[in-house]
């Protein structure tokens, strides 16, 4: 794999950099290489649970120090999208602080009576009561938004349900199809390129999912790198009609073979 001198890197986090609170092999070396070679980089995650500040603190605890400006989340992209659609929008949110904080920072308000939107992201406080309330609001006219379409996410304990799975009962009960803002939506990819001030021709996206990271890169015409350290296994690739540009077992192999470390 040949890299240009000015190649910028867009990297997923879950399944690429870490599983839960377990740092994956090659992650430290990868970030050290980025800093040493003065490369632009952005951690672009479909997870909406944590804010950039919280993600920075988490990586710091794991031994990697970067700035909060090096993170962009589906929560931020979702809040930005809603603000662009309706400057004074209100929403009923099922999600964690990363999502609610992103909404507040864009000047959007929380509303559990007659919101413009029902917004769903990853959460550990999922409940039947919240689903039931969201269904009633959507039936009354609120538009349904998901921070990302991921059905599952990798953790150190195995696979966990993600936004696509959590929002499915609301879709099925209301007959409404959610609009997802995170990868592979080109919106979040354009945000990433703008944040990096780089062109698609000069970027590489690294991810562990064929159905979000890789297809996002392909549809945005960005060079793609699939690592097998997260959700996708080698046999899974047979199910897809498209292929990544490069495949590695993990960041450790990518660093060794692509970056020359």
Beta bridge partners of 9: 41, 204
Helix H, strand E, coil C: the string for 71-129 is EEEHHHHHHHHHHHHCCCCEEEEECCHHHHHHHHHCCCEECCCCCCEEEECCCCCCCHH
Answer whether 20's CB lies under 8 Å from 155's CB: yes
The residues that are catalytic are 12, 14
Angle at 77 between CA 75 and CA 78, to 5 degrees: 65
Do 181 and 77 contact (CB within 8 A), yes or no?
yes
d(CA 149, CA 213): 11
Q: Are strands 117-120 and 158-161 parallel, antiparallel or unpaired?
A: unpaired
CA distance 95 to 161: 13
Q: Which contacts of 32-35 are long-range, i.e. CB under 8 A and separated by 24 or more positions?
A: 33/255, 33/259, 33/261, 34/9
CA separation for the pair 179, 197 (Å, rounded): 27
Place of tokens 């929008």: 89
How many other CB atoms are there within 10 angstroms of residue 247's CB atom?
A: 17
């Amino acid at each position: 794999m040949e890299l240009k001198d000015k190649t910028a890197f867009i990297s997923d986090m879950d399944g690429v950099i870490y599983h839960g609170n377990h740092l994956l092999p090659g992650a430290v070396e990868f970030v050290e290489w980025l800093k040493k070679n003065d490369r632009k980089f952005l951690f672009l995650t479909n997870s909406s649970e944590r804010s950039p500040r919280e993600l920075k603190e988490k990586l710091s605890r794991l031994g990697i120090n970067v700035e909060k400006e090096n993170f962009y989340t589906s929560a931020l992209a979702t809040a930005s999208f809603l603000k662009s659609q309706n400057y004074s929008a209100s929403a009923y949110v099922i999600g964690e602080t990363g999502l609610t904080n992103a909404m507040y920072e864009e000047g959007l308000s929380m509303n559990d009576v007659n919101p413009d939107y029902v917004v769903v992201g990853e959460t550990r406080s999922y409940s039947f009561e919240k689903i039931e309330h969201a269904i009633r609001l959507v039936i009354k006219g609120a538009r349904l938004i998901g921070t990302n379409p991921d059905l599952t996410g990798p953790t150190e304990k195995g696979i966990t349900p993600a936004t696509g799975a959590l929002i499915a009962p609301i879709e099925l009960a209301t007959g409404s199809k959610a609009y997802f803002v995170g990868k592979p939506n080109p919106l979040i990819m354009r945000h990433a390129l703008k944040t990096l001030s780089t062109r698609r021709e000069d970027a590489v996206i690294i991810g562990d999912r064929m159905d979000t990271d890789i297809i996002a890169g392909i549809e945005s015409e960005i060079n793609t790198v699939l690592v097998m350290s997260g959700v996708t296994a080698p046999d899974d690739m047979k199910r897809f009609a498209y292929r990544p540009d490069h495949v590695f077992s993990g960041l450790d192999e990518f660093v060794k073979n692509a970056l020359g470390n």
